[in-house]
């Protein structure tokens, strides 16, 4: 029996040391120390021993049980440590590995110019207004002193939404003048940037969709001098303090008098070159004093109030600013083009 116990001790210790995981270890515990285990089976036969042998074998049996129990705990601890080490290794983060770069986008050239213009106007006390791109002909034309039958209302130039020509895609941001005068208290100082639509074929200078920035000031004692000062400030801020501007008489139905603003060609300083098509000047925007009929149509007393308005073509501004030769580049979203800004 003593021999049997020693055998069990030897086999069990070897098996325990070789156990590779906690499940195997638990199996070993059951098979040696469990109720039906090998050691227990030996102990159950103690009764057959003589009175002299019993305490001797009993002591050995106890030693074996303790040895096995100790070995199992030790192995369990060892396995736990190994598992932890493995996990730490697996979950370790190598902080020296270069990260995956996050590609930061940037603003579109048109947005750059729009944001700059907004900054300039906000600095002069303007606020920003927004309005619908699907507009009533009433606002887009009629109330801007552009009566039924006016050539600007032609179906060939305008995207009408309804057969009766009462709803359309706005052809200009100028309806925002009427919307602002109708809803906002005087004095008024707003800009209204946004998309406008005209039935133009796409080419280097035309697109059926483009952007304008409308401006409107209505207050007591507003004159052409305010218009000139405001727009000259804008141009000098956007194109540099040395820019030279000129105001040229023009016609718009909703302003009187009307003008266009040209900036002297930056390329040739007015001598005439390819950029300005030999003109020496580059047209930037339309403007004028708000027509009394338009003011009165919005219930404004023209004996007390006067105003000026302007409309800037944002694509044109952007193209001039960055020397972009083809309008289509602005809308094609070719990364080789956009990445340059």
- Using CB atoms, what's the residue nearest to ligand PHE? 311
* Residue of 167, 172, 186, 144 whose CA lies nearest to 297: 144
10 Å Cβ neighbour count for 305?
A: 19
33: left (phi over 0), alpha (psi -120 to 50) or beta: alpha
Q: Which of 126, 139, 266, 310 binds ligand PHE (CB under 6 A)?
A: 310
Q: How far is the CB of 123 from ligand PHE (least distance, A)?
A: 21
Give, in degrees to the nearest 5, the angle at Cα 184 between 291 and 116.
80
- The answer to the question of residue 222 lying near ligand PHE (CB under 6 A) is no
Q: How far is the CB of 240 from ligand PHE (least distance, A)?
A: 24
Give the x-and-dash track for 28-67 against ligand PHE (CB under 6 A).
----------------------------------------
Stretch that binds ligand PHE, among 4-12, 97-105, 132-140, 308-316 (CB under 6 A): 308-316
Q: Which two tokens stand for residue 195?
A: 């998309």
Q: Which residue has the tokens 């032609």?
A: 154
Report helix, strand or coil for 39: helix
Q: Which of 255, 264, 306, 318 binds ligand PHE (CB under 6 A)?
A: 255
- The answer to the question of residue 172 lying near ligand PHE (CB under 6 A) is yes
Stretch that binds ligand PHE, among 54-62, 97-105, 113-121, 303-311 (CB under 6 A): 303-311
Stretch that binds ligand PHE, among 100-108, 111-119, 305-313, 327-335 (CB under 6 A): 305-313
Q: Which of 32, 139, 252, 281 binds ligand PHE (CB under 6 A)?
A: 252
Supply the Cα-derived Rg of the chain in whole angstroms. Answer: 44
* Residue of 238, 244, 181 whose CA lies nearest to 214: 181
Distance separating alpha carbons of residues 251 and 333, to the nearest angstrom: 35
Distance separating alpha carbons of residues 115 and 122, to the nearest angstrom: 10
Q: How far is the CB of 335 from ligand PHE (least distance, A)?
A: 31
Q: Number of helices (H) and strands (E), helices first, in the chain? A: 12, 9
Question: Measured on CA atoms in the order 124, 130, 133, 135, is the torsion positive or negative?
Answer: negative
- Residues between 269 and 288 that touch ligand PHE (CB under 6 A): 286-288
- Yes or no: say if 6 and 36 are a contact pair by the CB < 8 Å rule: no
* Residue of 289, 339, 295, 272 whose CA lies nearest to 181: 295
Distance separating alpha carbons of residues 111 and 62, to the nearest angstrom: 87
Q: How far is the CB of 179 from ligand PHE (least distance, A)?
A: 14
* Residue of 130, 220, 208, 210 whose CA lies nearest to 175: 130
Residue closer to ligand PHE by CB (options 38, 171) is 171
Length of the chain as a residue count: 341
Q: Which residue has the tokens 């266009």?
A: 260
Residue closer to ligand PHE by CB (options 67, 152) is 152
Q: How far is the CB of 337 from ligand PHE (least distance, A)?
A: 26
Backbone phi, then psi, for 287, in 5-degree steps?
A: -160, 180
Q: How far is the CB of 130 from ligand PHE (least distance, A)?
A: 17
- The site that binds ligand PHE (CB under 6 A) totals a number of residues, namely 11
Q: How far is the CB of 313 from ligand PHE (least distance, A)?
A: 8
- The answer to the question of residue 311 lying near ligand PHE (CB under 6 A) is yes
- Residues between 126 and 155 that touch ligand PHE (CB under 6 A): none
- The answer to the question of residue 193 lying near ligand PHE (CB under 6 A) is no
- The answer to the question of residue 305 lying near ligand PHE (CB under 6 A) is no
Residue closer to ligand PHE by CB (options 239, 254) is 254
Interacting residues toward ligand PHE by CB under 6 A: 172, 174, 252, 255, 258, 286-288, 309-311
């Amino acid at each position: 029996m003593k021999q049997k116990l020693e055998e069990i001790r030897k086999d069990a210790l070897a098996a325990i040391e070789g156990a590779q995981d906690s499940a195997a270890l638990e199996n070993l515990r059951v098979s040696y120390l469990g109720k039906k285990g090998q050691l227990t089976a030996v102990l159950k036969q103690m009764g057959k021993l003589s009175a002299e042998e019993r305490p001797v074998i009993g002591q050995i049996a106890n030693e074996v049980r303790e040895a096995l129990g100790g070995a199992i705990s030790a192995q369990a601890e060892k396995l736990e440590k190994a598992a932890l080490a493995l996990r730490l290794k697996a979950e370790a983060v190598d902080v020296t590995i270069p990260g995956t770069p996050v590609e930061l986008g940037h603003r579109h050239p048109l947005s750059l110019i729009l944001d700059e213009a907004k900054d300039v106007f906000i600095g002069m006390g303007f606020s920003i207004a927004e309005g619908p791109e699907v507009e009533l002909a009433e606002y887009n034309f009629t109330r801007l002193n552009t009566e039924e039958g006016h050539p600007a209302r032609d179906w060939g130039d305008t995207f009408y939404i309804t057969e009766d020509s009462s709803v359309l895609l706005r052809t200009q941001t100028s309806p925002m003048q009427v919307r602002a005068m109708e809803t906002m208290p005087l004095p008024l100082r707003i800009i209204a940037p946004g998309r406008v639509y005209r039935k133009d074929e796409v080419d280097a200078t035309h697109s059926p969709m483009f952007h304008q920035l409308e401006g409107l000031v209505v207050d007591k004692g507003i004159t052409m001098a305010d218009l000139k000062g405001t727009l000259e400030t804008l141009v000098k801020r956007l194109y540099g303090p040395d820019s030279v501007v000129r105001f040229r008489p023009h016609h718009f139905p909703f302003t009187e008098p009307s003008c266009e603003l040209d900036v002297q060609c930056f390329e040739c300083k007015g001598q005439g070159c390819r950029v300005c098509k030999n003109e020496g000047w580059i047209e930037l925007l339309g403007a004028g004093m708000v027509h009394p009929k338009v003011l009165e149509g919005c219930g404004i007393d023209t004996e007390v109030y006067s105003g000026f308005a302007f409309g800037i073509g944002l694509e044109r501004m952007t193209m001039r600013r960055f020397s972009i030769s083809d309008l289509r580049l602005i809308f094609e979203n070719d990364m080789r083009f956009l990445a340059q800004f």
